[in-house]
Amino acid sequence: MTTSPQNSELQQDLSGIEEKRRVLDEIVGIAKAIENLHASLESVLILGTSPKEMPQGALNLYKSLSDNLQSQPVNTVKEYLVNLDIIVKNQLEKVLHYSGMDFSSDEVVETLYLASDTTENSLFNLVEDFKRTAQTNVSLRILLKKRGVSLPGPSLAVPQDVIHKQLKILDVQEQKQRTKIKAKITEMKEDLGAMISNPNYPDKMKELLVAAQGNLDLDLNKLNSGAALSQLSFVVDAEEITGVHESSLSDEQPTQPAEKEKEISLAQAANRWLNSPWDVTWKDASKKD
């Protein structure tokens, strides 16, 4: 496929944005891990209080219980809690270790991402699992409380003041990551603005760029309002998109003789890429179907 000067310029611009998307994805990953660490330790603090002293906010966790769990008999719920208490006790030390890391260090971030590629026991998996375990633990205790059964939380070797201290550290770390995210989104908005102003780019392409820029504006507003990172437009589940794409393929399509594949145009690739999840690369989006 012959590449015109205009297409070459467009591809160069899109490649630049892709690199910033990649960096942004890493920063968001770290920030989400910090959010999960914070939520996990808050749940651990709740476990250390008596059923009568549980904060009102803990009731929100109860609402997340499935109907199946809510319908279990008291003795079964108690058995679940015994197992959950063991997991919390065993994993708390690791969680506290991670919560004390300097996530603003490039070396630390690089190490964490390298580890996540080589082992299932990475920071991201551990923290996500621990948060789910701790919050389920709290929810089940609230379930028992609603049934008139008071069950004390697990005895933890870590004093509550240590956990409070770690929560304050995580607050500072999260704000640093959010500042980085805002800066990177602002850079991407400026890059998109320059592309929109470029007279060499077709109007249809500019419509896509304007829409992408609008989404970034919405994300900045959400960040400024303190919204959770999961609410941002670029935090999407790639599997959902893939599933929709695969289900749209008909099993009844006739098998065609092998022919020379049609090349996808740069405009088509850009359209697909700008509307794809943030972890889809420019190279993947520009591939032929």
Q: Which of 144, 149, 48 is nearest to 89 (CA)?
A: 48
Give the alpha-carbon dihedral of 161, 162, 164, 168, to 10 degrees.
140
Q: What is the pTM of this model?
A: 0.72
DSSP states along 195-214: HHH-TTS-HHHHHHHHHHHH
Alpha carbons 71 and 186: distance in angstroms, whole number: 48
**How is the chain split into domains, by residue range?**
5-231
Instruction: Give whole-number Cα distances, 108 to 61, 102, 128, 257, in Å.
Output: 32, 7, 19, 52
- The number of C-alpha atoms within 13 Å of 5 and in the hemisphere containing its C-beta is 1
CA angle 50, 73, 144 (to 5 degrees): 15
User: Nearest to residue 110, comparing CAs of 121, 127, 123, 93?
Assistant: 123
d(CA 27, CA 104): 10
The enclosing H or E element of 19 equals: helix 5-47
What is the phi-psi region of residue 20: left when phi exceeds 0, alpha when psi lies from -120 to 50, beta otherwise? alpha
**pLDDT in 10s for each residue of the chain, 289 residues:** 445 666 778 788 888 888 888 888 889 889 999 999 999 999 998 887 766 677 766 777 777 788 888 889 999 999 999 999 999 998 998 899 889 888 888 888 888 887 776 666 678 888 999 999 999 998 898 888 888 888 777 888 788 899 999 999 999 999 999 999 999 999 999 999 998 999 888 888 888 888 888 888 999 999 999 888 878 776 533 223 222 222 222 333 434 444 434 445 545 555 565 556 555 655 666 566 5
Instruction: Return the ∠ at Cα 165 (arms to 159 and 171), rounded to 5°.
Output: 140
C-alpha separations of 143 from 39, 66, 80, 98, 229 in Å: 20, 11, 12, 30, 29
